[in-house]
Amino acid sequence: MIMPVIAEKALPGPVVDMVLDSLGSDHSKRAYERALTDFAAWYQRQGRPGLAKATVQRYKATLVERELAPSTINQRLCAIRALAREAADNGALDPGLAGGIARVKGVAQHGRRMGNWLSKEQAQRLLCAPDAGTLKGLRDRALLAVLIGCGLRRSEAAELTFSDIQQREARWAIVDLVGKGHRVRTVPMPSWAKAAIDRWAQQAGIADGVLDRMNGNRVFRSLSRHGHIDGDSISPQTVADVVKEHAAACGFKALAAHDLRRTFAKLAYAGGAGLDQIQLSLGHASIRTTERYLGLEQDLHDAPCDRLGLRI
């Protein structure tokens, strides 16, 4: 069977590599790798019963018992289906077994999770939380400024380079940013976020750094425990850790890096920004995705037609 291929924690198996290589998003690759790692560990504990529909259904029941969110369970099942499909395509699993796994249904999700976001006052507190008297504090403040001020994903912030930040129409912007789904967008940057980046870069001595072939002169760099630069980049996980650290200091529980992206959208909309402009900044393919970010519902009591100013 195929499961011995994914028995190791590091997932070195060629079939698993094929699954990950078929994905375009780095975020999806990380999520699928975590899902397959968890499945492999569970499979080992069960005595490797064979990859079949009954096995996957039993694993699904385990996930439900763990009270994981329906979206998390469904994502993990998607990863297992992809594994079975690649295994069958490459002759490592019987197509009939792969077909049975493909028919394992996901978990129904009732309602819609709204997620977390910060108020204007809370966002201001978070921006001021890092100690600006240290190099780490300057880096973290600049990072939070980019997440809140530009609505970037954590992977986009980690990969941001100085050459990405340019002037357009007399203002600073992140130009030609390649985001999820390989969609390219230009993201305006508030002056206070640019100022935070400039101060961090000046103190770190990287404002005029030489372009690195691998990392492209990244804005954000890893730091040693002594507060000195010890790398040419940071990982998306480091971005998540920075947000978690300063959110905890402010008393904001369960705040994730992606919640700052949602905060950007919420504060921009509350400040009068157009829904279409928020969509463009976030890089959403559909306006409906942006509406879900904002939790918008149709208002029949104060409808657009009531504001036309016309009469007969």
- Average pLDDT rounded to a whole number, residues 27-43: 87
| Residue closest to 118 by CA, chosen among 271, 3, 252 | 252
Q: Which residue has the higher pLDDT, 141 or 22?
A: 141
Q: Which residue has the higher pLDDT, 220 or 208?
A: 220
Would you tell me how many other CB atoms lie within 10 Å of the CB of residue 107?
16
Q: What pLDDT shows up at residue 92?
A: 83
Q: What pLDDT shows up at residue 309?
A: 73
What CA–CA distance (Å, rounded) separates 23 from 19? Answer: 7
Q: Which residue has the higher pLDDT, 218 or 10?
A: 218
| DSSP state, residue 251 | T
Q: What pLDDT shows up at residue 150?
A: 95
Instruction: Extract the tokens encoding 71.
Output: 């979206």
Task: Report the percentage of the chain scoring pLDDT > 90.
Answer: 51
| Burial class for 93, CB neighbours closer than 10 Å (0-12, 13-18, 19+) | buried
Please give the domain boundaries of the chain with CATH numbers for all domains: 3-102 (1.10.150), 120-294 (1.10.443.10)
| Residue closest to 245 by CA, chosen among 228, 234, 257, 233 | 257
Which residues fall within 8 angstroms of residue 152, CB to CB, at 6 or more apart? Answer: 146, 160, 174, 177, 187, 261
pLDDT at 5 over 60: no
| Residue closest to 19 by CA, chosen among 34, 1, 4, 41 | 34
Q: What pLDDT shows up at residue 51?
A: 87
Task: Report the percentage of the chain scoring pLDDT > 70.
Answer: 87
- Average pLDDT rounded to a whole number, residues 207-216: 50
Tens digit of pLDDT for each residue in 67-87? 888 888 999 999 999 889 888
Sign of CA dihedral 126, 131, 136, 141: positive
pLDDT at 20 over 70: yes
What CA–CA distance (Å, rounded) separates 300 from 305? Answer: 10
Q: What pLDDT shows up at residue 50?
A: 86
pLDDT at 113 over 70: no
- Residue keyed to tokens 């959110």: 247
On the CB side of 137, CA atoms within 13 Å amount to 9
pLDDT at 49 over 70: yes
What CA–CA distance (Å, rounded) separates 16 from 190? Answer: 42
Mean pLDDT estimate for the chain? 85
Q: Which long-range contacts (CB under 8 A, 24 or more apart) does 162-171 make?
A: 162/201, 162/207, 162/209, 162/217, 162/219, 163/211, 163/216, 163/217, 165/189, 165/194, 165/197, 165/219
Sign of CA dihedral 273, 277, 280, 281: negative
Tens digit of pLDDT for each residue in 226-252? 888 988 899 999 999 999 999 999 999
pLDDT at 1 over 50: no
- Residue keyed to tokens 């998306």: 236
Confidence of residue 182 (pLDDT cuts 50, 70, 90): confident
Tens digit of pLDDT for each residue in 257-292? 999 999 999 999 989 998 999 999 999 888 888 887
pTM of the model as a whole: 0.68
Confidence of residue 213 (pLDDT cuts 50, 70, 90): very low
Q: What pLDDT shows up at residue 300?
A: 63
Q: What pLDDT shows up at residue 24?
A: 67
